[in-house]
Structure 1
């Protein structure tokens, strides 16, 4: 394949599709029509002489050839962007690292790590973005983030089945906790028994793949009553503080709960644990990425 025959627009569109997972989402992000995105992908496939995307219900997946093309496209686009910055007299991006993180990591872990890095290496610029696990994994593979902080629940499977497998490092593993209003009958002095969670009203995240009913204690032997749905963890905890129901949260968020919320352990039933995982593509890290990874390790250990 000769990249000289491919437009930069087609490469940028392809990278966006790889990250977003659908032609429709890529078109919306770029401000294009879906047909325009389809034409750019078709032009890329004509030059490559092979499909780069596998069309599936609900989205697309990179083919083996598409993975190769994406890796090369990222390198080309990064060089073009670097040349543009140099010609514009802007500083090089050598000191920049891009971090993706799942929602609850933005409450304590990410701010703490970024603050540490600003103190120790002020020349390093950290750019961050929040996202779900599928979005962040696609962003890693598309080269639009360098590191991703992901949440993982038992049985702790890899976040995708693509190759090469992502390098994953567990930053922390802690028990799941229960958040209740301070005036709730369960807000006593000790742990809550899992049997006492039957018949409770829950505040959960909207159903979305592996995040289905996040906020309900796992494994309840009844159909839970979902009183409120909210994706944002602070919104869920604020609803708890208002006495609207119960929700779950990682132990790492206990220090960030608002007034009116009591955080409790739950005993009985299977041990519910959650991991915070640092994921990246295999291979050597840039110096800024390595520095941020170390700051994340320190922050998770506190």
Structure 2
């Protein structure tokens, strides 16, 4: 089997991004160049590696098998390069992915604890939605992921082998509202009062749930603003331009002008915070970062 390191990097990026176009943008290639690499990989492997769908690309079982080996090969090449150039890192690096609000809630406390207990470990972070981070974890682009799950808490994906998952904490979904206006001074609202609310939501795709709107409302929600950045969303709330859902743990970092209220008349919306990694024996550094996260939530 004659496969280049470039081909393996293309495989990794397709697995993470879920499309040839997105992989090309990340690698700085043209889309046609990535397509040619994909065809070359399949020719060398003697089997179909990519399941080409209208909504993107997924790896076949054979593609996932090759991906597992690709991670090992690319890591070995990086280590060899460090040895040859004399740039062997003095610290252990853990690449951590986090869902969109975890950077404000979980990350600072976890890094503070890790600095005190394991100063030789360096953590690099990337932010994304749970589906995006699962793909990155499978692709080997990150080592560890902090994810969210909603009931009934099914497996994070259908691929095999299953990811190793630990529960960090269960947190309740609440409503962020302006401190002045319709819900001013209230600690609860009835779900029926939210039917005609102006919502500030996170843009979603077919593979990602709509974030920021109370789940299960009848009809089409009235979304007035779409933003991924939490600072943008909460500042819009503070200025009176809508409401949005947030995990209750976000309360310590709310800007002035934002109040949290609980929603009555509907089942509690519980979100589970998970720490996930690939199966197998973790490195001591990954174990230490996992421990720092789970002990601070």
> Aligned to 2:291, which of 269, 278, 294?
294
Give structure 2 stretches of 5+ with no counterpart: none
Match of 1:99 in 2: 96
Report how far residue 196 of structure 1 moved: 2.5
Secondary structure (helix, strand or coil) at the match of 2:296 reads helix
- Whether contact under 8 Å (1:15, 1:70) holds in the other structure is yes
Secondary structure (helix, strand or coil) at the match of 1:223 reads coil
Match of 2:19 in 1: 22
Match of 1:147 in 2: 144
Which deviations, in whole Å up to 9, do the C-alpha atoms of 1:171-202 show, x marking residues without a partner?
Answer: 11111111111112312243222233232211
User: Aligned runs of 1:125-144 on 2, under 5 Å?
Assistant: 125-144=122-141
Report how far residue 131 of structure 1 moved: 1.2
Which deviations, in whole Å up to 9, do the C-alpha atoms of 1:137-174 show, x marking residues without a partner?
Answer: 11111111111111222232222111111122211111
Which deviations, in whole Å up to 9, do the C-alpha atoms of 1:29-51 show, x marking residues without a partner?
Answer: 11111111122222222221111
Match of 2:199 in 1: 202
Match of 1:72 in 2: 69
Q: 1:221 to 1:11 in 2, by over 3 A?
A: closer
Q: 1:29 to 1:179 in 2, by over 3 A?
A: same
Give structure 1 stretches of 5+ with no counterpart: none
User: Aligned runs of 1:1-302 on 2, under 5 Å?
Assistant: 2=1, 5-92=2-89, 95-209=92-206, 211-300=208-297
Report how far residue 212 of structure 1 moved: 3.9
- RMSD of Structure 2 on Structure 1 (CA): 1.6
Q: Quick one: distance in 2 between partners of 1:98 and 1:55?
A: 29
Q: 1:193 to 1:170 in 2, by over 3 A?
A: same
Q: Quick one: distance in 2 between partners of 1:119 and 1:273?
A: 32
Report how far residue 247 of structure 1 moved: 0.9
Secondary structure (helix, strand or coil) at the match of 1:151 reads strand
| TM-score scaled by length of structure 2 | 0.95
Q: Quick one: distance in 1 between partners of 2:218 and 2:42?
A: 51
Which deviations, in whole Å up to 9, do the C-alpha atoms of 1:122-145 show, x marking residues without a partner?
Answer: 110111101122221111111111
Worse overlay, 191-200 or 227-236:
191-200
- Whether contact under 8 Å (1:148, 1:279) holds in the other structure is yes
- Whether contact under 8 Å (1:86, 1:92) holds in the other structure is no
Report how far residue 234 of structure 1 moved: 1.8
| TM-score scaled by length of structure 1 | 0.93
Q: Quick one: distance in 2 between partners of 1:247 and 1:6?
A: 48
- Whether contact under 8 Å (2:131, 2:207) holds in the other structure is no
Report how far residue 211 of structure 1 moved: 4.1
